[in-house]
Chains A and B, each alone.
Chain A
Amino acid sequence: MSSDAKHKPRVDKPTIDKPRIGVFKFASCDGCQLSLLDAEDEMLAVAGAVEIAYFPEASSAMLKGPYDMGLVEGSVTTYHDAQRIQEVRRQCKTLITIGACATAGGIQALRNWKDVDEFIRVVYATPQFISTLKLSTPIAEHVPVDFELRGCPINKHQLLELITATLAGRKPNIPSYSVCIECKRKANVCIAVARGIPCLGPVTQAGCGALCPSYDRGCYGCYGPMESPNTTSMSSQFRILGQADSQIVRAFRGFNAWAWQFRKASEECER
């Protein structure tokens, strides 16, 4: 097998007007953008319907904007990234954030309650080499966002629905009700009621398919707050199940800790 791979491959100019998509990464684990590559059955069809113009994790062809749709993964944690998101927004007609980092600051937002300089000293021997902001913040705190897709990680079927709906100009069918509804649909016996296992399902947005309760453990809130979460009642229920306030604080301070409803709930338990 031979080919001329000496040169960086030339990128074909698109011959028809396909919507151009860009995928942008900020502070994150890469898992949400990997969901696109994990859509094994649909990936080639998607690639046929759109032009993937910028997606460094998957392609060395990095085409300049503007883009019809930008998918943004990750949170803003550096001064440079706070500037970069402004440029990404200018380049994207529709801007969609994907995952808990981009929509709520991610697990790295746990720094927001701590002294970040101390965090740097814990991890790095030469702290002066590190430049970072005091807060890890969601994209919507910096620029207007057209749709926020939740989850740590996102659900790839929801992502495909969102891309399809956006390109068709219709509202995406992505529910904002709680994980409890998904448990009921799966006919799961409620683990909180029947077995006394603390579960964030009532305050957490659906989308995962009620995975944790289906695997005999309580929901840990990785899809973030549902549209109208009663976190005060949730905290009370955790106390009834014997959880100390420090445990409730940790429960809300997970992958969506900086989402305001969860943030308020954890701070109430610290008072």
Chain B
Amino acid sequence: MTGRATRTIHVDTLARVEGEGALYIKLVGERVADVKLKIYEPPRFFEAFLRGRHLSEAADITSRICGICPIAYQMSAVHAIERALGVHISPAVRLLRRLFYCGEWIESHTLHVYMLHAPDFLGYADAIAMAKDHRAVVEKALRLKKIGNRIVQLLGGREIHPISAAVGGFYKVPTKRQLRELESDLEWALAASIESVKWTASLEFPAFEQDYEFVALRHPDEYPFNEGRLVSNRGLDIDASEYEDHFAEQHVKHSNALQSVIRGRGSYLVGPLARFNLNFDKLPEAARQAAVDVSLRPPVKNVFRSIVVRAVELVFACAEALRVIREYEPPAAPRVEVHNRIGVGQAITEAPRGILYHRYALDDKGMIVTAKIVPPTSQNQKRIEDDLREYAAQLVAWPVEEATWKCEQAIRSYDPCISCATHFLKLTVDHEGSSD
């Protein structure tokens, strides 16, 4: 038999993930000897060239880290700088920022659920091939995605790298009527999202439960976007300013992304599962009911089921967007005035893929002295490797080609964004000598 045989699983270019990565797994007999999530996306050095730029440029520059979640970068940037400057935004701006984030979550989650992840469950190479047999599903997804993008476009001018986020508020805010025009589309989107929960819940999931430390924001009254304390299911409960006391980044040779760990405990999981498990009680009724209707309750410990959780978060984002557009009264001014001062500010917001940490040190002229950015995929990277070590062990008896395909699917469950993490992915499975 293959008792001592060494085999490898290799994926040179991971598909349907944002950015460039590869996977390498080495199997010696029945044992998983090595797992490397390789990130060969070239480094772009954002933290270095933010030094010496003006604080007003941080949102525009950092949004270019990621074309899929630019709003997350803009939100973490403006909130961190506002904290450094002691700026308090108006309640109307706070609402608009939540709406802005709803748009990004709807666009990004729909992209992942239907176009990047669903083809794995149904056995297609992509959404276009899937559309041949499931045209109505793909058309519904495109309409839902477009509604998310429409929100972003209205508030930010364009879907990718929107231009309106500013320290203190926005450059320009919409009228009540402009927001109300989104209402009928959002009512359709809410219903479509509830159907998405049922549809995703009917897929078949591998049995793979892990004991995670989930990390997410938690706010007393709301499902989190821009505010809250950073909490975990193992007792973490800190302010953003304490983040670097509790988390460390490691630089490993096989990756252009820094891997993040909780000091003294190791890997952890951020993103939809973490948010859902830690904030289930804060979901609006429609989202909680949609989850309960498909027997989805916390703790969800199977990362393959994240597709269902993303669909629940779609329900949340549509319901929250409807709430905002119904409550909105335009602010007296689009943004509050800001005054330069020496200071350091940190902020954490919930990007579609999980928490995004920014820290800026500013001088008295409003210039950035130092910047630090920890994207969600860096934080999940070590956890992905840990999971693959467990998952590959279940697949040792499988033919390499099928094992490889399953490992790729496992990675996609995290919705990794490699472009973000580089400051971040490639699969190789290595079985040493296969005959015996």
Contact = CB atoms under 8 A, between A and B. Distances in A.
A60 interface: yes
Contacts of B42: 26-27, 77-78, 81, 132
A31 interface: yes
A254 B121 CA distance: 42
B258 A153 contact: no
B408 A60 contact: yes
B250 to A, nearest CB: 8
Given A34-B160, A40-B149, A7 B123 contact: yes
Contacts of B177: none
Contacts of B142: 40-41, 43-44
B152 to A, nearest CB: 10
B48 interface: yes
A111 B49 contact: yes
A56 interface: yes
A169 B35 CA distance: 48
Nearest to B250: A125
Nearest to B107: A38
B386 to A, nearest CB: 21
Contact of B126 (A25, A26, A61, A130): A61
A6 interface: yes
B405 interface: yes
Of the listed residues B128, B334, B404, the one surrounded by the most CB atoms of chain A closer than 10 A to its CB is: B128
Given A215-B171, A250-B53, A5 B121 contact: yes
A231 B24 CA distance: 50
Interface string B383-406: 000000000000000000110111
B125 A34 contact: no
A46 to B, nearest CB: 9
B82 to A, nearest CB: 18
Contact of A59 (B15, B53, B67, B146): B15
Interface in A93-152: 106-108, 110-111, 114, 116, 118-120, 122-126, 129-130, 132, 152
B160 A35 contact: yes
Interface stretch (B54-62, B214-222, B226-234): B54-62
B44 A56 contact: no
A250 B54 CA distance: 9
Contact of A153 (B40, B57, B160, B164): B160
A38 B149 contact: yes
A227 to B, nearest CB: 23
A200 interface: no
B66 interface: yes
A58 B160 contact: no
B251 A31 contact: no
Contacts, number: 218
A27 B44 contact: yes
A184 interface: no
Interface of A is mostly: loop
A81 B249 CA distance: 27
Given A40-B145, A60-B126, A61-B125, A130 B256 contact: yes
Interface residues of A, number: 75
Contacts of A114: 48-49
A58 B131 CA distance: 13
Contacts of B57: 250
Contacts of B251: 124-126, 129
A31 B108 CA distance: 12
Interface stretch (A175-183, A216-224, A234-242, A262-270): A216-224
A34 B68 contact: yes
B405 A6 contact: yes
A160 B39 CA distance: 31
A52 B128 CA distance: 9
Contact of A62 (B15, B64, B252): B15
B313 interface: no
A28 interface: yes
Contacts of B419: 28-30
B55 to A, nearest CB: 12
Contacts of B128: 43-44, 47, 52, 58-59
A1 interface: yes
Contacts of A57: 15-18
B158 A32 contact: no
Contact of B122 (A3, A38, A80, A125): A3
Nearest to B20: A25
A16 interface: no
Interface string B27-53: 000000000000011111111110101
14 contacts: A1-B121, A3-B123, A8-B404, A27-B44, A40-B145, A58-B127, A60-B15, A60-B16, A108-B45, A118-B48, A122-B45, A129-B252, A211-B158, A247-B54
Which 9 A-B pairs rank lowest in CB-CB distance, beginning with the nearest?
A31-B67, A59-B126, A61-B125, A60-B15, A119-B48, A40-B146, A122-B48, A110-B49, A153-B160
Given A77-B42, A116-B45, 8 more contacts: A27-B41, A29-B70, A44-B131, A60-B126, A106-B44, A123-B47, A215-B164, A217-B171
